């Protein structure tokens, strides 16, 4: 009777509207617990495990199909969020429906590993998981301690399934470096906590650079306190700009290409003083300034009447770095702007007054005055002329030709806020691929693969092709899974360089 009414119809039962796969998709906890109790009692647990694998694989693939090739970061953020929600739902079903059955736990893990490392999406999760965490860390203040712990727990669970951990590592290092030198108040203890969790779930030196980044930042903060004392003795109070340089090692940080620019005299003098201070402590070290990274705070003052400084009889600056101007006799408004270093350099060009009115510069004139490249200038200026915060007023004689655009200070600027950020556009993360270049990941893989081949060949001397592939996959599975094509390319390269030789399906080590 059992064979006639149930066993012969298991395949039909699997996909029917009220079957276990539909229950899994709808996360029907109570119904699935009844199904689990019944089918385990009659010895059809394996069939139920197959249903679970099929159902969650479909759900996982549907989520990962939403990935778009780094054109819409926000969409990719929500895709990772959906993936984490799916994992939460699976664990909830495991506890409430499947009574913490370890067979079901392992089957869920197998399912996640398979669809996350699908050939079409193999690197998408590795790239977008660090982006997701970058956004979440910036807004942790809105979360409770329990929510933070839960977030970290599921982040690490998804990380465990990622086979291309070397890609994840590159992207995580990039976003960590941005967070550490940004204007956001990032809790270093939180960063250390995540790094420790990553370290416990990866190979030994996986987090070495990340830990060194934290150390560099801590050392820079200690340097800053000493520099403040030195700066007061080396410069007069009016000329001091409070700068806090992050001293980082080029070999550790994912430093982008240096963009040269012409610095305003006052800023240049302050940086020269820091160079003197640093050379006294670290003789022989060379500092290369990266003005395309970091943030600056400026005071933007809008006067009804142009005030004059009594000591110098010169107009007070409209844009000022440092403390706010105290001028009670004049009616004026002040705003605190958080800008990128390039935006600061541009705004300081507008401080000179011509007949009680600010100067007007063309696009090309600003490039000549600041030395900022055209493409970077275009992005930087767009952040100063937004509809929400139009600090600069753009005068355009042609809609298409940016070379004819002219810029001046928006003297009619009004805003209810007294403090706001303008650096969002100029430091957009949508160009991450230019900083975290997959080309370098590929090069590192090639070097690592060749070193592993040589390690195996030295110990085995002679090995079959299939055995070599098996050994390499076993050694490198924690970092990435090498393709057969890549293995062939690296072995051929070693053959050409006469490190090994091939005889039909055998490889021999050449001393």
Site of tokens 């929500």: 78
| Residue 302: strand, helix, or coil | strand
Same domain, yes or no: 334 and 278: no
Mention every residue, 6+ apart, whose C-beta is less than 8 A from residue 162.
116, 117, 125, 126, 129, 168
Give the angle 432-435-439 at the CA atoms, nearest 5°: 105
State how beta strands 332-339 and 419-421 pair.
Answer: parallel
- pLDDT value of position 333: 79
Half-sphere CA count of 367, side-chain side, radius 13 A: 15
Report the sign of the C-alpha dihedral through residues 343, 349, 355, 360, in that order: negative
Q: Is residue 52 part of a domain?
A: yes
Q: Which is higher by pLDDT, 361 or 404?
A: 361
> Are both 20 and 154 inside the same structural domain?
yes
In a domain, 170, yes or no: no
Predicted confidence at residue 12, as pLDDT, reads: 60
Full-model pTM: 0.83
308 and 399 in contact (C-beta within 8 Å)? no
Q: Could you give the 3-state DSSP secondary structure of residue 239?
A: helix
Least confident of 20-24, 207-211, 407-411, 446-450: 20-24
End-of-domain residue from the set 398, 430, 462: 430
Residue 399 lies inside a defined structural domain of this protein: yes
Give 456-480 pLDDT, tens digit per residue: 999 999 999 999 999 999 888 888 8
Nearest Cα neighbor of 363 from 399, 407, 393 is 407
* 303 and 418 housed in the same domain: yes
Task: Assess whether 410 and 503 both reside in one domain.
Answer: no
Inside any domain, residue 175? no
Q: Is residue 416 part of a domain?
A: yes
Give how far the C-alpha of residue 55 lies from the chain's centroid of Cα atoms, to the nearest Å: 32
330 and 256 both lie in a single domain: no
What is the domain-level CATH number for residue 114?
A: 1.20.1310.10
Check whether residue 145 and residue 248 sit in a common domain: no
With beta carbons less than 8 A apart as the criterion, state whether 55 and 20 touch.
Answer: yes
User: Facing residues of 436 across strands?
Assistant: none
- pLDDT band at 67; cut points 50, 70, 90: confident
Q: Indicate whether 423 and 346 sit together in one domain.
A: yes
Q: 3-state DSSP call for residue 204?
A: coil
Q: Which helix (H) or strand (E) holds 79?
A: helix 73-96
> Is residue 461, in this structure, part of any structural domain at all?
yes
Give the containing element (helix H, strand E) for 419: strand 419-421
**Is residue 301 domain-shared with residue 408, that is, in the same domain?**
yes
Give the mean pLDDT of the chain. Answer: 82
Domain ranges, residue 207: 183-292
Residue whose entry in the numeric block shows the structure tokens 């860390």: 137
pLDDT band at 133 (very low <50, low <70, confident <90, very high): very high
> 433-439 contacts: CB < 8 A, separation 24 or more?
433/70, 434/256, 435/174, 435/254, 435/256, 436/127, 436/170, 436/171, 436/174, 436/254, 438/123, 438/167
Number of domains in the chain: 4
Contact partners, residue 487, CB within 8 Å, separation at least 6? 449, 453, 468, 469, 472
* 221 and 285 assigned to the same domain: yes
Q: Facing residues of 332 across strands?
A: 303
Q: Report the 3 state secondary structure along 318-363.
A: CEEECCCCCCCCCCEEEEEEEECHHHHHHHHHHCCCECCECCCEEH
476 part of a folded domain: yes
Q: Do 417 and 441 share a structural domain?
A: no
**In this model, does residue 137 exceed pLDDT 70?**
yes
């Amino acid at each position: 009777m059992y064979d006639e009414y149930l066993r012969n119809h298991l395949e039909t039962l699997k996909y029917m509207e009220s079957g276990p796969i539909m229950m899994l998709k709808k996360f029907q906890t109570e119904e699935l617990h009844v199904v689990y109790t019944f089918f385990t009692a009659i010895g059809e647990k394996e069939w139920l495990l197959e249903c679970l694998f099929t159902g969650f694989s479909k759900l996982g693939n549907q989520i990962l199909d939403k990935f778009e090739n780094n054109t819409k970061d926000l969409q990719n953020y929500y895709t990772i969020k959906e993936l984490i929600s799916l994992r939460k739902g699976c664990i909830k079903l495991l506890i409430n429906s499947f009574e913490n059955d370890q067979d079901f736990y392992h089957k869920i893990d197998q399912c996640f590993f398979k669809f996350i490392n699908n050939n079409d999406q193999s690197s998408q999760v590795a790239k977008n998981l660090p982006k997701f965490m970058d956004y979440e860390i910036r807004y942790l203040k809105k979360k409770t301690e329990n929510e933070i712990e839960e977030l970290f727990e599921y982040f690490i669970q998804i990380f465990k399934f990622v086979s291309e951990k070397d890609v994840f590592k590159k992207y995580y290092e990039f976003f960590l470096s941005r967070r550490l030198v940004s204007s956001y108040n990032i809790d270093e203890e939180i960063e250390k906590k995540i790094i420790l969790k990553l370290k416990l779930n990866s190979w030994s030196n996986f987090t070495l650079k990340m830990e060194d980044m934290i150390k560099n930042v801590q050392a820079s903060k200690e340097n800053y306190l000493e520099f403040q004392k030195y700066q007061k003795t080396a410069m007069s109070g009016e000329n001091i700009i409070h700068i806090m340089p992050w001293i980082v090692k080029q070999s550790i940080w994912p430093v982008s290409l240096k963009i040269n620019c012409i610095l305003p005299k006052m800023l240049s003098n302050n940086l020269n003083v820091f160079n003197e201070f640093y050379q006294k402590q670290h003789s022989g070290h060379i500092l290369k300034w990266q003005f395309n990274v970091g943030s600056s705070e400026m005071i933007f003052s809008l006067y009804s009447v142009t005030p004059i400084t009594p000591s110098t009889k010169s107009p007070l600056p409209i844009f000022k770095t440092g403390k706010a101007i105290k001028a009670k006799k004049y009616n004026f408004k002040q705003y605190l702007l958080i800008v990128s270093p390039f935006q600061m350099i541009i705004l300081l060009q507008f401080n000179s007054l011509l007949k009680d009115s600010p100067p007007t510069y063309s696009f090309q004139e600003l490039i000549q005055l600041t030395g900022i490249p055209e493409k970077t200038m275009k992005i930087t200026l767009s952040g100063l002329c937004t509809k929400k915060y139009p600090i600069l007023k753009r005068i355009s004689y042609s809609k298409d030709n940016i070379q004819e655009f002219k810029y001046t200070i928006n003297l009619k600027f009004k805003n209810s806020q007294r403090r706001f950020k303008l650096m969002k556009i100029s430091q957009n993360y949508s160009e991450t691929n230019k900083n975290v270049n997959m080309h370098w990941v590929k090069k590192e893989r090639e070097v690592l693969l060749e070193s592993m081949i040589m390690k195996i060949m030295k110990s085995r001397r002679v090995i079959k092709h299939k055995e070599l592939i098996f050994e390499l996959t076993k050694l490198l599975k924690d970092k990435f899974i090498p393709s057969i094509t890549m293995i062939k390319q690296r072995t051929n390269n070693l053959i050409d360089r006469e490190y090994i030789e091939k005889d039909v399906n055998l490889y021999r080590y050449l001393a």
